[in-house]
Structure formats: structure tokens, C-alpha cells
Amino acid sequence: MRFAVIVFPGSNCDVDMYHAAKDELGEEAEYVWHDETSLDGFDAVLLPGGFSFGDYLRTGAIARFSPIMNEIVKAAEAGKPVLGVCNGFQVLLEAGLLPGAMRRNESLKFICRPVNLTVKNNETIFTSLYKQDEVIQIPIAHGEGNYYCDDETLAVLKDNKQIVFTYEGTNPNGSIENIAGIINKQGNVLGMMPHPERAVDPLLGGADGLKLFKSIVKQWRESHAVKA
């Protein structure tokens, strides 16, 4: 399986993403600069955390107009897995690939620490190796992770089981309904504020995030085995 790790000016978790795909999974991975205009040959897309374009205007607002975003939209429409973490999640929101918006943390402070998450939907291509309602520990590092959507959108998210992860216990940022990660209706685009790529090895303090990446590979291999 071949992963594209998108790099914007200001990305700082691209190496972590690359390490998760290349070293922990043993799959192919390649950095793709934001002004590239093709994702041909890639099976999945990873949008890392960081401060794309310095977080000017709004987080993700400028990155959303990078040339590579047209190809990411095409990849999403083709059903390929697209994972956006932290700033990557913010970019997906700005691009309209996921519903809702991101606001400043309720505390108005940057938060960087491990948090507990509940797997609310383990029937996605990103969570199939987790148990339903399993509690996992994944680190967060953000200043604008307060997810918000209107009541109508929230009802749709609930009805379609698009809420994939919620914060367990204390809500660190004020996110509505404790939401930490959501998926699109098609089920192939996931955005989440916590960093699973920073939890793929016990040496990093925990490996609860590794199952997410393994779930992607599992789905890809199963789908390609059927085609073969």
C-alpha cells in the first residue's frame, strides 16, 4: 500500500506520519509538497498536523487553496482513505470534505497532553481493529480544537454514525458533544484532533494509535484481494 504524506509550509507532523506508515506499518510512503498536482499511484492520503501557512486567517484556511487539494478531493470522491489529523482535520473542514468548523479551545490556551478517547464507531475503515466503545490514549497538541456544528449537522452526524471518536472524561477543548473525530458520509474521510501517529510505539509512550493505521491497511488488502 502506498501512502501520500501531504506537506504544507508549516507542517510539523509530516515526519511522524511518514514514520507511522513506513517504519511501523512497513508500507510505502512518500512526501507530497502542497503545490503538486497529482496523486496518481497513491492508495491513501495523510494530512498531518502543524501550522499550515502559519495558521493565518484561520487554521487550514489558506492550505485549503493549495493545488494538491484538488487531487485530495478527487481521491476522496474515488473512495480512497483520507486521514486528516489536527491541522489536517482543520484543512478538511475548510475544504468542505467534512462538516462543521473549528474554534479556539475553550480555555484559549494551547493544550499538549495525552487524552483518553472512546471509539464510538468501530465499523469504519479506520477503526475496524478497535472494539466498540474501547477507550484508548492518544496525545493532543492544539490551540483550535474546539469542534462545532449546528444542531441539524449534529443530528446528521449522530444518525449516520459519523462521530468516530469522543473525549472520555474531561473535555479538553470544549468541543460539542465531546467530539474528537468525525468521518464523512461515504466513510473514507476521517478528521481527528488527537495524534494517532504519535502513539504507534511503546517508546513514544503508547501504541494505541497503531491500530488506526493497521485498520487502513487491512481494509485496503481485503478490498484488493476481492478484486484480484
Cell of 65: 487553496
Rounded to 5 degrees, φ, ψ at 31 are -75, 140
Measure the CA angle with vertex 160, ends 116 and 131; round to 5°. Answer: 40
Confirm if 22 and 28 have CB atoms less than 8 A apart. Answer: yes
Half-sphere exposure of 76 (CA within 13 A, CB side): 24
Residue 150 neighbours by CB under 8 Å, 6+ apart: none
Neighbours of 130 (CB within 10 A): 22
User: Active-site residues: which are they?
Assistant: 86, 195, 197
Residue 196 is classified by DSSP as: G
Confirm if 95 and 140 have CB atoms less than 8 A apart. Answer: no
Buried b (16+ CB within 10 A) or exposed e, 48-87: bbbbbbebeeebbbbbbebebbebbeebbeeebbbbbbbb
